[in-house]
Amino acid sequence: MAYRILHCGKSLSNYRLCLEHGIAGFTTRGPEQGDVIFLAVNYQKQTLCGLRARLGEPTDQQPWEDADRYVAAYRLIEVDYAVPFDLRFLADYGGRYWPLKFLQLAKAIQDEAAIQALNQAFDQYRSEQPIFPDQVPIDVASEIETSEDGLLEISPQELNQVLQEVPDAKIKVMGTFQTVRFKNETDSLRGLEVLVSENFYQLFPRYQPSHSLLIPENRLFLSAGLEARGEKPIKGIRSIPDALLIIYSGLAQQPFTIALIEYECFGESKTRSQDKSSYLNGQIIPQLMRFAAAFSIVTDKQIRDQTIKVWVNKIIEYVYASPDRIKLVSAWIQQLQPDLADQLIGREIDRALTLAFQQAIQIVVVIDDLSDEQKDTIANVIRSFKLESGDSVQFIPYIVRLEQRITVCETNAEYALSVQ
């Protein structure tokens, strides 16, 4: 267990969303379940803290506008509130450059005296209800200049002094890497889908093996066509995702979320911008739209219900084909309904899966190249599809690149530089 200060920079909006949703998001990996975090924000040139909590289960819920920045998010448990108080007293333990020592990248605090002082200060200002910084009077503002993320502005002339006082302020580079192309999507040795599937949970920490089930069976799921109404199917409107992910939320009202995963790769064959754009607009986006439409109210309810019925049956068959998978999914249901008889667990799995297809669908694309503008365009298109609950289908893009090692110089460091 580690103690960390999670700093929202100057975004009072992000601070508020963390409190309202009970979720903490991190832009770097390192924080783990069980860590204690103090939530802080820079407001009127003060660094204010009003929440202390322990990190619970990882979650894929990310309510912030800049959610793309966050590589991991956790639910907050054992939450305590305080009247927002200024953290500048930490200068007594970290010196002038205390923000670099205690706030930078939510690093674990190593100074036990600072941890004790944090807890004592928090207990002194404890509150029964959450209070936001703009709801309380603010003391005299600090004269120390801060950057957009609320940390100190360091001039080149100060750098040597900073590194003497806070040696870990500067990022230590583990090694250097060269970005190389995947061969294509499906190649058994250098294919994006193969390599990502084998390393899925290492690449995407927001999904945990204990709270999700990955079904990597390519072409197992096929959406129903017009024949569900006794009519002739139309070529090209049905969809087959590359994989399916069942995500367990731990919430009784919505136990599962269904993620339809599509692997796409420009690879070695599509290197020109024109080729990539044509493939994106002509193949990828229409395919993702078909995924979203299959469960959206834009599709005839009879066809939609037939797709859900078939897919739920295939998921249950997949679960019950393995004792480990039965144990995993049954444990989820038993956690939600401890008094449920064993013979009724299968029926409850069926009900929860059906509900997820009606109310909680994500379209996940894993691809080797995608610009921010393209992400936004696709997200807007996918979110225009509404589910039976009235919620939008969600779009989550992941860009995965293949890196070849050039050199490794510091194996204990956390960062590397890559060149493309």
pLDDT one-digit tens code per residue, 91-134: 999 888 888 888 888 889 999 999 999 999 999 999 999 999 88
Burial of 397 (0-12, 13-18, 19+ CB in 10 A): buried
CB count in 10 Å sphere of residue 56 = 18
- Where residue 140 falls among pLDDT bands split at 50, 70, 90? very low
Residue 143 pLDDT exceeds 50: no
Residue 148 pLDDT exceeds 60: no
- CB 223 within 8 Å of CB 238: yes
Report CA Rg, the chain.
Answer: 24
Compute the distance between CA of residue 381 and CA of residue 285 in angstroms, rounded to an integer. Answer: 9
Element (H, E) at 87: none
φ, ψ of residue 2 to 5 degrees: the values are -125, 155
**Terminal CA-to-CA distance of the chain, rounded, Å?**
37
For tokens 């600072």, name the residue: 114
**Cβ-proximal residues to 303 (8 Å cutoff; 6+ apart), any chain:** 224, 225, 226, 228, 229
pLDDT one-digit tens code per residue, 203-227: 988 888 999 999 988 667 776 554 5
Task: Give 323-328 contacts, CB < 8 A, sequence gap 24+.
Answer: 325/213, 328/210, 328/213
The predicted pLDDT at position 250 comes to 83
The predicted pLDDT at position 141 comes to 45
CB count in 10 Å sphere of residue 265 = 25
pLDDT-wise least confident of 31-35, 51-55, 149-153: 149-153
pLDDT one-digit tens code per residue, 361-381: 999 999 999 998 999 999 999
Compute the distance between CA of residue 311 and CA of residue 219 in angstroms, rounded to an integer. Answer: 12
Compute the distance between CA of residue 196 and CA of residue 180 in angstroms, rounded to an integer. Answer: 15
pLDDT (mean) for 134-149: 57
**How many residues are recorded in the chain?**
420
pLDDT one-digit tens code per residue, 157-191: 666 666 666 666 677 888 999 999 999 998 989 99
Q: What is the reported pTM? A: 0.80
pLDDT (mean) for 144-151: 51
Which of these, 409, 375, 381, lies nearest to 393 by C-alpha position?
381
Residue 87 pLDDT exceeds 70: yes
Structure tokens at 372: 């921010």
pLDDT one-digit tens code per residue, 60-86: 788 888 877 888 889 999 999 999 999
- CB 72 within 8 Å of CB 56: no
pLDDT (mean) for 235-253: 80
**What percentage of the chain reaches a pLDDT higher than 70?**
88
The predicted pLDDT at position 224 comes to 57
